[in-house]
Chains A and B, each alone.
Chain A
Amino acid sequence: MPGTDRRRGVMRLLLWLLCLAGLLALTAQRLELSYDLGLFLPAPQTPAQKLLVERLGESPGSRYVMIAVPDNAPQILDLARRLQDLPEIQAVLSDLLPPPGSPPEPVFRHRFLLADMDWSEQGLGRALNDRLADLGLGTSAAFERLVTRDPALLSLTIMESLNPGSAEPWLTASGQRVMIAVTRAPAFDMDAQALAVQSIETAVMASFGSLDAARLSGAGVFGVTLRSTIEAEALWRSVWASVALISVLLLFYRSLSVLILAALPLLAGLVSGIAAVSVIFGDVHGITLAFGFTLLGVAIDYPLHYLSRARRESPAQALRVTLPTLSLSALSTILAYGALMIGGASGMAQLGLFSAAGVGGALLTTAWLLPALTPKPKPEKTAVEGVRLVPSLRPGMVGLLFTGALLLAWAGAERPWWSSSLTDLSPVPAGKLSEEREFRQATGAPNIRYLVAAQDPQLDPLLNQAAALDATLNAAVGEGLLEGFAGITPLLPAPAVQRQRQSAIPQTQALADKLARALQPLPFSPEAFELFLADAAASRQLAPLTVDDYAGSEFEALLNAQLYLSADRGWTALFTLQGEPDPVALAAFLKARLPAAMLVDLREASESLVADYRERTLTVLGAVFAVLALLLSWRLRPARAVWTITIVLGAIGFTAAALRWFSGPLDLYQLAGLLLVTGIGLDYALFLGKRDRDGAEHAVFACMASTVAAFGVLAASSIPALHSLGSTVALGSAVCFGAAWLGSRPGRA
């Protein structure tokens, strides 16, 4: 018989491995890690939310790497040269760099279409007189060349209206000078950003001899530093959490084979989770993996229930006793996790599918593979058997639990339940954020919170609207509501406006005559302006400048950041604002002058998005609890079903109230943690609520101890996501255990 058992075990193990290999093969072809955070945001509702989600990581200024260095001009210019040579860097901005002598194409060629020019004899005379005055202040060959082609300096006017930089020296409070490297890659492209940051640091080293004196800031820099610190801390914390978990299991089971057996369902869960997501979604989000594996943590409990039994009973007997409750627990958890799939965001749907499929895989492995591999029971008293000595109290404890939760909730009544601030979620230390703000102020880089937007299904009407908005914002600057702004109008006036300017250019001979008359009283040489006449004649033949004409030019990135096409709402033009505008006054001003324009508060949009998202998740969870109640009352006797739901709800309510009491409003990570606690709580309540719970106590206690140990390690982290998740799950599972344990009596029906 043992021979048959062993053969059966080997056969099943081989089959199981084959299944996993098959799933992995299925996955390998499709697995494509993506880090698009937008996937985790719910479908945006308001125009501002839509704008936020569409432009996530692409808002103007998000590609800025701001570099503060000691104020030493030669070294800074040396650094600027090095940065300009880097393939990762698209442009280098510094107040120490000279402005371009003449504007780049296609702006220069189209200058007479992009700005208004007075072509009358008087107008030409005025421009020429101004240039005569300029010559009295000083001359340079480059300036003189520009004047011969553009006597009214239209091209400079266009460039000036584009440059949003501060006119003051770009200095920080501590006297460092700030320069900006604009990366080619968007801020969310972490690998490219990491390369860019590394290259920038190498350049700083080369120019300044050391990195100590330099400070780097910006969205991409934060992402890169965080990724490396998070990866490092997440790694060593995971290692220690695993060590804690293994130690607890060894303490409870004193068996290496139990450890290995308990790991198999987890492994199967992981593989089936990835396979399910990659088959249905095509790619797997990096965050799905991280969070999904955490949610899968509940699956470690399944083999433990069985293995605790199998210490004293035959595998078949142990399985027969545990499987019904195990299935019910797993099914409830699958329901709870699966609810995430209807949450609205594809990233969350991935997470839900991953965890649900993973729990399913873990359950199947526990039920089908483990009994075939379990050695014969060797009855012996294990170290923690003594747990059974703990007396069980009356169910009145449940009332105590609810009372405690209510008390905690009441005591913290003045605090909001939920935090919607993305800053609270942001793992960027507050000091770094204020440094970033300081650098932005110093350089006049655009405000990243407020934008003004205009939208239209068609591009041409949008460009007209943008021109009107440009004028309105100019008026706002005039009234002191705004320090400055930058939009696309100087680069892309509406085609009709361009054609109108074009038709105002006189015929070649007529212009030559006007110019000659204007030059008459002046000491300028008439031949000096032949290029101007030629350019004006050529401008009459030009087609109006379009978005496509800017492809490949150095204005391309600027335009892409401020003008874009979205599938459902057509074209959007964005205007960036300088300084810290008063949103109420500015919104009122815009409403009065140009109601079509929209002042977008990106922070408000993101907060409302988080709030919407949470609300939807909570609604879905509410529905899930209703379905769970139905499921439990179908499978259990009503009293036990009510008891189970009550215990879980009470434990979650208590945990949430306690977390709010200790650490303030709850964030999204804590919400995710509570979801895991739901799965864990169901498991504990189902097993401890059984009639013959004696056999289950050992397993449930082992589950609780290992969960608290592992998540306790995460709770000690300084990274907000790990801390929130860890503390929620550690506290939650302890509370669930306490509630289920103290709230029940042995032999209770």
Chain B
Amino acid sequence: MSTHTEQLTEIVERVRVATETLGDDDSKLRAIAFQKLLDHELSQGQPDVIPRGASHEAAEDSVVQIDDAFASRALREQAIADYFRIGSNQVHDLFDISNEAPYLEVRADMLDRSNRFAIREIALLVCGARTALGIETGTADIRKAADIHGRLDDDFISHLLCMDEIVVRGKSTSPNRLVRMRAIGAECVRGIAQRLVANGQ
């Protein structure tokens, strides 16, 4: 018996036991109570939609969290390729995806010469890849990538705050603030990724 079926059986049994206490005096009332309680129980914790990429045949797996959707390397590769609209075989030109969190791996000289614009490119690439994999981005993630690529400077946060393509949330005193990609950022980073892979990254 599948896990999903087991869960349904458990719910039905739980509802049956709960409505048993109503007694046999009014079977119609008990039937109504059973139905109402069953509807309530079934609506608890059920997804409102089938997850991305899942087929109707796989609907019973629909309680799987989005995080589980990228458990394999191949799925991570495809998700990043889809996000940046590059070939899945080109993902490795930009990121190391051997772990669940992607790591930016581009040649430092391929980034913009200006630190400000290089950090913009790094921020968009890091935030884009993590968003594609359902992982939120912190300023620390971008800072680390900028440091590894030799582009970290004292104005790092100022550079991020100047960007219209992302939103930096959280207290200004926090060392790790949440970064979210805006629609215009998600769309413009495709061009950056495509340029980098085209230039032989």
Question: Are A and B interaction partners?
Answer: no
